[in-house]
Chain A
């Protein structure tokens, strides 16, 4: 099966920066997604990486290193509304999407 690891929980202060790491071991690779899920709500798409490097979208950035099987999601200028679960998902060689268990980020005032 596929193996996708990310930390269970992280806490940070409003205005700070938090980096959520994701490591993966999959049979083949065809892209990595990050989703945000607020409690009781649907996951919403944040970013997609298929080539190595950094993708920046406003306060959120996502990085991928395919050789290391590693990605991170960087959240800058944290706001209270960023408190949510962040899901790393990898599409394998058969184009099936597998998710990590999610990282719950708590932003404190």
Chain B
């Protein structure tokens, strides 16, 4: 595997379900990100991890819970979601977060539908 991978690619879940999204980067990066992309809207930053420490929580509801066990893996645990949470969830990584001019590399995303 190369680059940034995400599983599953598609997920349909009910509002009472609990599921997790997984992201893995094979680039040796130290920063990982979760974004939400809704139709016709800008990418919204959700969480940032730098060297496994969460450095950003962009006012995300608690029904989204991130986990970063090491610099290569990032999870997004989902529970009690709402239909408006249906979107494409993108994971990204970069060399570091913060004051470095490093571009972010994105995974293919998980298309989430909440019914």
Taking Cβ atoms with an 8 Å cutoff, the residues of A that contact B are: 4, 8, 30-31, 33, 35, 41-45, 48, 50, 87, 89, 95-102
Contact = CB atoms under 8 A, between A and B. Distances in A.
B101 interface: yes
Contact of B106 (A31, A42, A96, A101): A42
Interface of B: 4, 40-45, 56, 90, 97-99, 101, 103-109
28 contacts: A4-B42, A30-B99, A31-B101, A33-B103, A35-B106, A41-B108, A42-B4, A42-B108, A43-B90, A43-B106, A44-B106, A45-B103, A45-B104, A45-B105, A48-B101, A48-B103, A87-B43, A89-B43, A96-B45, A97-B45, A97-B104, A98-B42, A98-B45, A99-B43, A99-B44, A100-B42, A101-B41, A102-B42
Nearest to A49: B101
Contacts of B41: 101
A43 B99 CA distance: 22
A96 B43 contact: no
Contacts of B109: 42
A98 B48 CA distance: 13
A101 B42 contact: yes
A89 B90 CA distance: 15
